[in-house]
């Protein structure tokens, strides 16, 4: 739908919602009619100039787009190789890229006549963005959040509550993003008539992976234009962190057909890939399976039971990944690399000290990959990192890790 070339990597998904073998619509029958309605509503909205105009207006005046492309001078000097740029998605309203998708979907929910919104959240960034658009558009909303995440992301829990959302802690399993998504699906199947499920990541049943990618693709499109204006060419590499992978696919999509641009996704390596159930790197350390409506790489045991995984970052602590990433992994267009908790923490601190920017722990995984990559590249080359979120929410948990708090 998005490109014309026959061999383009930007053509997916097909009519069945597949990116190669990945994606699909693996949901209970109760949800199928609604998912088909959603797809039809999205196709119609995409072609409706009024819808597009409202979304563009909100992007400028509510979110604050375009977000700046910032030359990270001290980081560049420190690393001594490629020039490092940050795409400043953390400067968006609500503090992350998540708002891009939430605005697109809330307008769709309104068009479909839905009167209630639910969402899952890990780090709370998507929960906050959802609660924000629900406040603005006057829709009641319920956010499902793993109990472990409620604990480690308290500032975002408070923000959601102040925005008028009901936050429902989920105690099943390890109390992280996977469990929150299960519970959101249970709510959706129960309240399917009235409720819009605002999925925050580029995963789930078709058409969500496509829809979320389209709403986030503004990131890469802007990078391309801004980098052209700054350097008069394409960047040599783009980097983003990957949990479910919404900021990553949004960053990558504009560059998929530009072979000179190397693309890297930083997965959550947790305690290391050799530690069983100690990481959340579904592509580097998992294999294809079916969960939450799509076929994709998953962390699972040999009997197909899903593992909880681990990451210091709540937003990356998910055993799956968006299906388009699985496809880009198999086709090797994108290189997915695991970044450990310790590497992310080090990058978090370096960025804070060198640039005066406190990154989200999720984004710090992407930064850590930049720190590995830049010194291996020439000074005439450039890397763009999607700085997907700000780290205010993480200062308490990082403080604890660093022993600054008791």
Partner 1 sequence: MTTRIDTRFAALKAEGRPALVTFVMAGDPDLATGQAIFEALPQAGADIIELGMPFSDPMADGIAIQLAGQRALANGHTLRATLGMVEDFRRKDETTPVVLMGYYNPIFIFGVEEFLAAAKAAGVDGLIVVDLPPEEDEELCLPALRAGINFIRLTTPTTDDKRLPTVLANTSGFVYYVSMTGITGAAIKSRAAVGDAVRRIKSHTDLPVAVGFGIKNAEDAEAIGRDADGVVVGSVLIEAIARTLVDGKPTDKTVAAVRELVASLAGGVKGSRS
| Residue 28 found at the interface with partner 1 (CB under 8 A) | yes
Which contiguous run of DSSP H or E holds residue 385?
A: strand 382-386
Instruction: Enter the tokens of residue 368.
Output: 């850590």
Q: Is 289 in the site for partner 1 (CB under 8 A)?
A: yes
Query: Omega before 207 cis (within 30°)?
Result: yes
Closest contact distance (angstroms) between CB of 404 and partner 1 is 37
**41, 112, 147, 192: residue in contact with partner 1 (rule CB under 8 A):** 192
Segment interacting with partner 1, rule: CB under 8 A, options 6-14, 189-197, 332-340, 376-384: 189-197
Q: Which of 300, 326, 340, 363 binds partner 1 (CB under 8 A)?
A: 300
Least spacing, CB of residue 287 vs partner 1, in Å: 8
Q: Are 279 and 290 in contact (CB under 8 A)?
A: no
172 binds partner 1 (CB under 8 A): yes
CB-nearer residue toward partner 1: 191 or 349: 191
Residue 273 engages partner 1 in binding (rule: CB under 8 A):
no
Tell whether residue 145 is a contact of partner 1 (CB under 8 A). Answer: no
Question: Among all residues, which ones are annotated catalytic?
Answer: 98, 120, 388
Tokens of 46: 């995409």
Residue 358 φ/ψ, nearest 5 degrees: -90, 110
CB 141 within 8 A of CB 167: no
The answer to whether the CB of 312 falls within 8 A of the CB of 306 is no
For residue 175, the 8-state DSSP code is S
d(CA 216, CA 27): 24
Name the β-bridge partners of 169: 145
Q: What minimum distance in Å lies between the beta carbon of 55 and partner 1?
A: 29
State the number of binding residues for partner 1 (CB under 8 A): 36
| Binding residue for partner 1, selected from 1, 14, 30, 331, defined by CB under 8 A | 30
Q: How far is the CB of 144 from partner 1 (least distance, A)?
A: 12
Long-range contact set of residues 300-308: C-beta below 8 Å, sequence gap at least 24: 306/178, 307/277, 308/173, 308/174, 308/176, 308/178, 308/277
Least distance to partner 1, CB of residue 154, Å: 26
Interface contacts to partner 1, rule CB under 8 A: 16, 24-34, 172-173, 178, 182, 185-186, 189-193, 289-293, 295, 298, 300, 302-306
């Amino acid at each position: 739908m998005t490109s014309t070339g026959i061999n383009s990597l930007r053509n997916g998904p097909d009519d069945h919602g597949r990116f190669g073998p990945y994606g699909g619509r693996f949901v209970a029958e109760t949800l199928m009619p609604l998912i088909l309605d959603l797809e039809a509503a999205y196709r119609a909205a995409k072609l409706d100039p009024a819808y597009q105009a409202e979304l563009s207006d909100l992007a400028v005046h509510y979110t604050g787009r375009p977000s700046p492309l910032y030359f990270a001078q001290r980081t560049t000097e420190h690393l001594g190789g490629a020039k490092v740029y940050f795409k400043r998605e953390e400067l968006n309203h609500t503090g992350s890229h998540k708002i891009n998708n939430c605005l697109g979907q809330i307008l769709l929910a309104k068009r479909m006549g839905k009167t209630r919104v639910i969402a899952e959240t890990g780090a709370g960034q998507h929960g906050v963005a959802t609660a924000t658009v629900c406040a603005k558009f006057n829709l009641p909303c319920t956010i499902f959040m793993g109990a472990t995440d409620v604990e480690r992301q308290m500032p975002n829990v408070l923000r959601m509550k102040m925005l008028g959302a009901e936050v429902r802690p989920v105690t099943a399993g390890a109390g992280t993003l996977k469990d929150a998504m299960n519970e959101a699906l249970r709510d959706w199947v129960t309240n399917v008539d009235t409720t819009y499920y605002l999925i925050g990541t580029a995963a789930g049943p078709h058409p969500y992976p496509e829809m979320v990618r389209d709403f986030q693709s503004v990131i890469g499109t802007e990078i391309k234009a801004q980098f052209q204006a700054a350097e008069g060419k394409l960047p040599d590499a783009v980097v983003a962190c990957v949990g479910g992978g919404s900021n990553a696919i949004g960053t990558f999509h504009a560059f998929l057909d530009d072979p000179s641009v190397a693309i890297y996704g930083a997965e959550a390596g947790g305690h290391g890939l050799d530690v069983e159930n100690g990481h959340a790197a579904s592509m580097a350390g998992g294999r294809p399976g079916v969960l939450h409506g799509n076929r994709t790489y998953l962390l699972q045991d040999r009997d197909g039971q899903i593992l909880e995984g681990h990451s210091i970052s709540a937003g990356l602590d998910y055993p799956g990944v968006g299906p388009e990433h699985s496809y880009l992994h198999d086709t090797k267009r994108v290189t997915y690399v695991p970044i450990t908790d310790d590497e992310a923490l080090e990058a978090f601190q370096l960025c804070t000290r060198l640039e005066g920017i406190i990154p989200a722990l999720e984004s710090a995984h992407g930064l850590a990959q930049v720190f590995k990559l830049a010194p291996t590249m020439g000074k005439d080359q450039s890397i763009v990192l999607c700085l997907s979120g700000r780290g205010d929410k993480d200062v308490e948990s990082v403080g604890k890790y660093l022993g600054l708090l008791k």
